[in-house]
A and B are shown apart, each in its own frame.
Chain A
Amino acid sequence: MSTHDEARRKFLVGAAAGAGAVATGGVSSEVLAQVQAPVQQVAAEHAAHTTAGKGLGAFLNAEFTEAVAAFTERLMPGAPGKPGARDANVVNYIDLALAGAYSDMQDFYRRGLASLDAYCRKTHNKPFVELNSAQQDEVIGALEQGKASEFTWPSQQAFFNTLRTHTIEGMFADPVYGGNKDFAGWKLVGFPGAHPAFTAADMQSKEAFTGAAYLGLQSQAPRNRG
C-alpha cells in the first residue's frame, strides 16, 4: 500500500511539474512564477491528501477508492512478474467509468460499498481495507456464495459479479479507458493488443506471439488528436 501511494504521489507531483512546463511556452518568467506557484501549491496539497488517503477521483471519494482498490486487488492480485489490479490501475478505470459510461451505477457502488463496510465491521470490527488478505478473501468468498449479510440492493452476488466484471474490464480494456496501465493486463495474459493484421505463419505458430509492440488505441489515433 505505501509503495503504491508513494508511486502515486510521485506521479502527481510529476504531472503538476509537467503542467507547469507546458505553460512556459512564450510566457515571461514573471508570469510563469505566478502560474507555477499555485500549481505547485495545489499539487503539494493534493499529494499530501493522497498520502493521507484523501485524494479524490472523478467519482470515487478517497474511502471508496481505497476499498475498490483493495477489493479488486484481491480479485486479481499482483505478484512478482504477474501484474495485478493495482498495477493495472483498475481502480482508475472504474472511477472514470463511474463518472462516465457507467454513471447510472454510482448508487450501486455507493450502496454496495456501504454494505461491504457494514458487513466487515459487523464480522471483524474493521473496514474492508484494514483486514488482512486472508480475511479479505474470506469476505469476498462469502459475497460470491451469498453467505454474507448486510446487503439489500445491490445483492451481495450482484455486487461481487459486477466488481469482477469491472476488474476484468479494467485489466484488459485498452489503456485509453484508464486501466490496463502500461498494458499490464495484456502482458499478464500474452495478448498483443489490437493488431490490424496477422500472417498465416502467425496463426499456425505454437509459440507465444512476440512479433510486434503492444498496440493501443492512442498509438493508432491520428496524430493531431492533441
Chain B
Amino acid sequence: MATEKTDVVIVGAGAVGGILAAELGKAGMKVIALERGPRLATKDFAPQDELRYFQRQDLRPDVKRQPVTWRPNANTRSSVIQSLSYGNQAGGGTVHYGAVSWRFHEDDFRVRSNTIAHYGASAIPEDSSVIDWPLSYAELEPFYDRAEYDLGVSGKAGNLQGRKIEGGNVLESPRKRDYPLPPLQVDQAGSNFEAATKKLGYHPFSTPRAILSQPYKGRPGCSYCGACQGFGCHIGAKSSILVTALPEADKTGNFKLITGAMTYRVNSDNSGKVTGVSYFGPDGSRDNTIEAEIVVIAPFVYDCVRLLMLSKTEKYPNGLANSSGHLGKHVMSHIGARAFAAFDDRHVNIYMGPSAQKHTIDDFNADNFDHKDLGFIRGAQISAGPAGLEGGPIATAMNMVMPQGVPRWGAGFRDFFSKYYTRHVALTGQTEELPYAAQMIDLDPDVKDAFGLPAPRMTYDWRRPNEVKRMEFVNQKLLEIGRSMGAAHVWRAPSSPGAPGSHHQGGVRMGSNPRESVVNKYGQTWDIPNLFVIGSSNFPTSAGFNPTLTIQALTYMTADAIVNRYRKSPGPLV
C-alpha cells in the first residue's frame, strides 16, 4: 500500500495522457500517470515480426487477461471479443497505429444541424441520438495545428485559408498553414489509385500520416519498410506518443509514470469532488492511492466507461458523473466496406511503404456529396492499401477474401494467393456511423478480468438501415474505382457481422448541456468539475476519419484551458 499526492493524476499514458503530461508538466504542475502496460522503446521494436506484432497482437490487450465482451442486442448473451485493436502500453494505440492523422470537416462537428439544414429533420433516423458537437472546427483549428507541428505529421494542404490546392485534400476545411512535413513517398498502389480516381472526376491525395517524411525534431524520416500498422516503428519515424510527448513530459521534471498500474476506482467525497484514484500496483499490491487535485481518465473507450461505473458510491449510484444517464451510451465504431483489385499486367508490392490507408479520396465522406434521395446520411473515407492494413503475407492471407469461385484452401487458394499477393490492392471505405443510444458499454455481469473486475460489455450491432444503405453505396464506389484502376479482377468482401470494428467513439459524450451529455467540450464532467474524461469517448459523432488527431487536438485544447483558466479558478470551464 502506498499513498502519493500530486496535482494531477492521469489514468492511461496514451494519446491523451502523454500530451497532457507534457503540457501540464511544462506549466509547472506535478503529474503522475498510471499505465497498466509497460513502457517500451524504439529499440524494442527491431526487428520486424509479423507473427508477433500483427497476428498475435503483442502490442494490444491480451483478451484472456483483459476480456471485453460483445452482444448484438440486450436479448442475447455476450461472448468475449477475440481480438482487440487498442493499445496496451505507454503510448497507447499510437505505438501500433497506422498513424493516419485527419482533421475532421466543419460539418463533422454539426451533423445534426447540417443534416436538418440540407435534408430536413426526417433524414435523421428516428432512433439515432445524433447531436452537434459543442465546439466548431474553427475553435479546434489552432489545436489541430499544434498537434501536427508538435508531433510531426506529413501531408499536403488542400485548403489553405480558403485557397484550394491540387494534390492536397481540396475538400478539407480551411487550415491556417500547411503541414510541417511534405507528404510521404507515394507507392504504385497510390499512383494507380490517384490516376483511376482522377479519371472518375474525384480528388485523390496522399493520406496525411504522423510518420516523418523527413528528419524532424531529432527523429529520422521514414524508411518505408512497411511495418506500421500493428507494429512499433523500428526507427522512431512514426510520431507515436512514446517518441514525442512522453520524452517531453520527462524533460519537465514534473512527471512520473507508473507502469504496470491498473486503476480500479476513482475516489470521491461528499463535497462533489473527486479526491484521486486507487490502483493495483505492479508488485501485486492492492490499496495504492494517488491523491490529486485533478483526475483525468484517458484510457481506451471501454475503460473510460468501466472505471466511472466501477467508481459508483451512495452519492453517485449510477456511476461517477452519470447524473444524465448517458454514461456508456451512443457508442460508435468504424465499419469497413472492402473490395479488392488484382492485376495481371503488373506487380504492386503493396508490402512496401507506410501501410494503412495509403491514398485517399474524400469525395464520398461527411456531407461532401449530395445525399438527396440516397436514403442515408454521412459517408466514408475511401482509400487504397493492403488487404490486412499492413502488407505482410500473414495479414494478407488472413484478410484477403477470395473472389467467387476461388477456394479458401488447397491448390486453388495457393495459386490465386501466390500470384496476387504482390499484385493486389485493397480498397476500403471507412464508414461514419451514427450514434444510437442502445449501442452501449456497461459492466458484464458474468465475465471478469484478471484483477477480478467486471469486463466491459459492448451491446452493439451496426446493421441499421442508414448504415446498411451507406455500406452498399460505398461498396459500389469501391468496385467502380477498382475497375478504373485497370485491375483484371475486382471483387468485394461480404459485409462483416454486426460486431464492432475499430476506432470506438462515444460512451462519455460531450455536449452543450448536462442533460444530454456527460462532459463539456473540455472533457470536464458536468457533475464533478475536477474530474475529466478525454478521448474519442467524448465524440458525439464519429466522422469517416480516423480519430487520433482529433483526440490529440482536444487534449491540447483542454491542457490550455486547465493551465490558463482552471488552475487560477478551479470550477466549471463552461
Contact = CB atoms under 8 A, between A and B. Distances in A.
A140 B414 CA distance: 16
B224 interface: yes
A203 B224 contact: yes
Nearest to A185: B393
A205 B347 contact: yes
A137 B408 contact: no
A186 B394 CA distance: 10
Interface stretch (A3-11, A20-28, A31-39, A162-170): A162-170
Interface in A185-202: 185-186, 188-191, 194-200, 202
B188 A206 contact: yes
B409 A196 contact: no
A110 B393 CA distance: 28
A185 B414 CA distance: 10
B414 A188 contact: yes
Contacts, number: 127
Contacts of A213: none
B352 A172 contact: no
A57 interface: no
A204 B195 CA distance: 14
B422 A177 contact: no
Contact of A168 (B188, B235, B398): B398
Contact of A164 (B186, B187, B394, B408): B408
A150 B187 CA distance: 50
Given A75-B410, A76-B414, A169 B352 contact: no
B401 to A, nearest CB: 13
B393 A191 contact: yes
A177 B51 contact: yes
Interface of B is mostly: loop
A172 B392 contact: yes
A73 B511 CA distance: 57
Contacts of A177: 51
Given A169-B55, A172-B394, A203-B187, A194 B227 contact: yes
B47 A204 contact: no
Interface size class of A (residues with CB under 8 A): 35 or more
A144 interface: yes
Contacts of A196: 47-48, 223, 225, 234-235
Contact of A174 (B50, B351, B408): B50
Interface string A133-152: 00001001000100000000
Nearest to A75: B409
Interface string A76-118: 1101001010000000000000000100100000000000000
Contacts of A144: 408-409
Contacts of B49: 174, 194, 217
A168 B226 contact: no
Given A164-B408, A200-B185, A208-B347, A186 B224 contact: no
A203 B347 contact: no
24 contacts: A75-B409, A82-B414, A82-B418, A84-B414, A144-B409, A167-B409, A173-B50, A188-B418, A189-B418, A190-B421, A194-B47, A194-B50, A195-B225, A198-B353, A203-B187, A203-B224, A203-B349, A203-B352, A204-B186, A206-B346, A206-B347, A208-B347, A217-B47, A220-B46
Closest 7 CB pairs of A and B: A173-B51, A197-B223, A203-B187, A206-B346, A172-B393, A194-B48, A189-B421
Interface of B: 46-51, 55-56, 64, 185-188, 191, 223-227, 234-235, 346-349, 351-353, 392-394, 397-398, 408-411, 413-415, 417-418, 421-422
Interface of A: 74-77, 79, 82, 84, 101, 104, 137, 140, 144, 164-165, 167-169, 171-174, 177, 185-186, 188-191, 194-200, 202-209, 217, 220-221
